[in-house]
Structure formats: C-alpha cells, structure tokens
Amino acid sequence: MRKFFGTLYRYSLTIPDRLYPFKNEIEGRWVRGERSYEAAVTRALAQYGLGRLGYKLTFYREAFHFVGSILFIVFSTLLARDLFGSDIALYVLFGAAVAALSYQEFYLHPREFGQHARKGITDWLVWVVPMVAYAALFK
C-alpha cells in the first residue's frame, strides 16, 4: 500500500512536466510535454544556476500549485458541508492540509529533491494563501 501511495505521489508531482505546452527543439525535432519541460529546465539551470528556474518556469509551476489550491478548497468545502454537515470540518481539513504542506515543502522536498528553502516558501504560500483568504472571506 505504501508503494502505491508513493507511486501516486510521484505521478502527481510530474503532472506539470507532462502537460508542458511550450515547444522546444531537441536534436532537430520540435517536442512538447515532458521532454520539452526537461529541456527548458536544463537550459534554465545552465543560465541561472542551481535551484533557479527563472520567472517563466517558476510561474508555470506555481500556476499548477494555485489551481491545486483552488481545487482543494472546492472539494474540501463540498466534503465538509455535504458529508460532514459542518463548517468546522472545513477548518479541520484546511489545518490538516497546511500541516501536510508544511511537512512536504520544508522537510520532505528538501531531503528528497534538494529543494531550496526559497522555492519551498513560495510553494507553501501559493497553496496556503488562497485557503486563508477563503476562510477569512467566507466565515
């Protein structure tokens, strides 16, 4: 079971890589998707240095985080109200998500992938700020 969730987790991490819509020329052929994304990352690392992807790739990755945050808010709201029948459940789900994101961005990703703290902070903020804003605006 642990292997299944590990595979599912790693699959979800590569969704932006596989859906990369911009084309790059590799060995005389124009490609999109994962190969194009990998070429863009390689080029960015060569240009900006280790741990820096440039604003275009960073914005692209953070757009996926933002969409994920919005989807989490929608599904958490539906789950909390329809299944649990309580708005308190929504805050519990948000709290659990913030705890899981904190573990992922500040412990797991730096150890597993060598993620820099700056990227972890940016990812965490893009996930958490929409949740906090939603909770504050729709009490």
Instruction: Answer yes or no: do 44 and 106 share one domain.
Output: no
Instruction: Answer yes or no: do 97 and 71 share one domain.
Output: yes
> Residue 60 is encoded by which pair of tokens?
């692209």
Tell me the average pLDDT of the chain. Answer: 89
Q: What percent of the chain has pLDDT over 70?
A: 99
pTM for this prediction: 0.84
> Residue 91 is encoded by which pair of tokens?
């805050």
Question: Which position has the higher pLDDT, 139 or 58?
Answer: 58
Q: Rg (Cα) of the chain, in Å, rounded?
A: 17
Instruction: Answer yes or no: do 57 and 76 share one domain.
Output: yes
What's the length of the chain? 139
Instruction: Answer yes or no: do 22 and 79 share one domain.
Output: no
CA gap 26, 36 in Å, rounded:
8
Q: What are phi and psi of 31, to 5 degrees?
A: -130, 160
Domain range enclosing 56: 51-139
Segment holding 31, helix H or strand E: strand 29-31
Instruction: Answer yes or no: do 93 and 32 share one domain.
Output: no
The total number of structural domains in the chain stands at 2
Instruction: Answer yes or no: do 60 and 94 share one domain.
Output: yes
Instruction: Answer yes or no: do 121 and 139 share one domain.
Output: yes
pLDDT tens by residue, 89-139: 999 999 999 999 999 999 999 998 888 899 999 999 999 999 999 999 986
The pLDDT of residue 113 is 84
Instruction: Answer yes or no: do 78 and 139 share one domain.
Output: yes
Average pLDDT in the 67-84 region? 91
Q: Cα–Cα distances in Å, from 83 out to 15, 71, 79, 89, 104?
A: 29, 17, 5, 10, 27
Instruction: Answer yes or no: do 84 and 58 share one domain.
Output: yes
Instruction: Answer yes or no: do 33 and 56 share one domain.
Output: no
Instruction: Answer yes or no: do 70 and 126 share one domain.
Output: yes
